[in-house]
Structure 1
Amino acid sequence: MRKIITGTALVLTAALLTGCGSDDGPRTDDKSANASVKPKPDSGSGEVKHEVTLEVFGHGTSQVYYNLNTNKFEKVKLPWKKTETITFTTDAEKRTGTTVSVVPGSVYKADGTLRAAACVITVDGKKVADNKGGKSDKMCKYDLK
């Protein structure tokens, strides 16, 4: 089971790194997240800033792959949280944006079986993506503009 989940994470990682996938907005059933997040303009500089928080929930340790300002794959202690400010400075960056994502590793359920850990992405204080508390095998992904 662990090999299957690790293999799935690697396939998802490859898809993210090659730019595969669709551009159909946030991955969530939360209807409030379907509205776009309003950018925070920086006073006078023309920069647009967003505070992005990635979270993975559970107990123990797990591996996570995330794409924030950089792509990283690391073993973390759960619950895990990473917050960074993403700044768009050029017109091209503001127009095309970037994708932020987190692929949670596996955690043990009470019955001893493995399942995907729960993940959430928050942008400027608003939840924009989740994986239904780990019930979905999908990663958390959001196209930030």
Structure 2
Amino acid sequence: MRKIITGTTLVLTAALLTGCGSEGKEAAAKPTSATTATAGHTTGNGKSQPNTGGGEVKHEVTLEVLGTGQSQVYYNLQTNKMEQVTLPWKKTGTITLTTEAEKKIGESVSVVPGSVHGSDGMLHAAGCVITVDGKKVADNQDGKADTKICQYLVK
């Protein structure tokens, strides 16, 4: 029964994250205080620069799911994918923004952690973190935030 509920939850979350219908796309683009923010290009020294004009801009993005044991993880890092993983789990990729539209609107990255057993024996959302260019940009506070997923618009 838990597998069915977890699978259904992940499928519904995936549909919401991919922005089914125009309402979903607008809602997905709105930031939430706990897990979403936007930023400019970060240089090697950690200082932020706005993405205006010029050629392509590259960002190193790391998605993490915390905890121990086995869990399903749904993530969007240039492609949508679901995997059965061993926790803790980490995935790193490079996001390349080439057009002015991509630089202005951004590219969404996200991770939906599966459930893990808590110290009380109950299932809880696993913790997740997104790091862009070495800076933490989203954190669901070990699954305790209002939003259990982590998402970010890379600009």
Give the TM-score of the pair, scaled to structure 2: 0.79
Corresponding position of 2:46 = none
**Aligned counterpart for 2:151 among listed residues 137, 141, 144:** 141
Cα RMSD for the two superposed structures: 2.3
Structure-2 separation of matches of 1:65 and 1:133: 16
Structure-2 separation of matches of 1:122 and 1:26: 16
Give the TM-score of the pair, scaled to structure 1: 0.84
- Report how many residues are paired: 139
Q: Give the drift of 1:4.
A: 3.2
1:72 aligns with 2:43: no
The alpha-carbon distance between structure 1 residues 27 and 99, as it changes in their structure 2 partners (threshold 3 A), is: farther
Corresponding position of 1:132 = 141
Structure-1 separation of matches of 2:32 and 2:94: 19
Q: Which runs of 5+ in 2 are unaligned?
A: 44-48
Q: Give the drift of 1:36.
A: 2.1
Percent identical: 56
* Residue range with higher mean Cα deviation, 72-81 or 14-23: 14-23
The alpha-carbon distance between structure 1 residues 34 and 63, as it changes in their structure 2 partners (threshold 3 A), is: closer
**Aligned counterpart for 2:118 among listed residues 109, 114, 118:** 109
1:23 aligns with 2:32: no
Q: Give the drift of 1:142.
A: 0.6
1:38 aligns with 2:41: yes
Q: Give the drift of 1:79.
A: 0.3
Q: Is the Cα–Cα contact under 8 Å of residues 39 and 49 in structure 1 kept in the other structure?
A: no
**1:134 aligns to what SS in structure 2?**
coil
Structure-1 separation of matches of 2:120 and 2:18: 35
The alpha-carbon distance between structure 1 residues 76 and 128, as it changes in their structure 2 partners (threshold 3 A), is: same
Q: Which runs of 5+ in 1 are unaligned?
A: none
Question: 1:95 corresponds to which letter in structure 2?
Answer: K
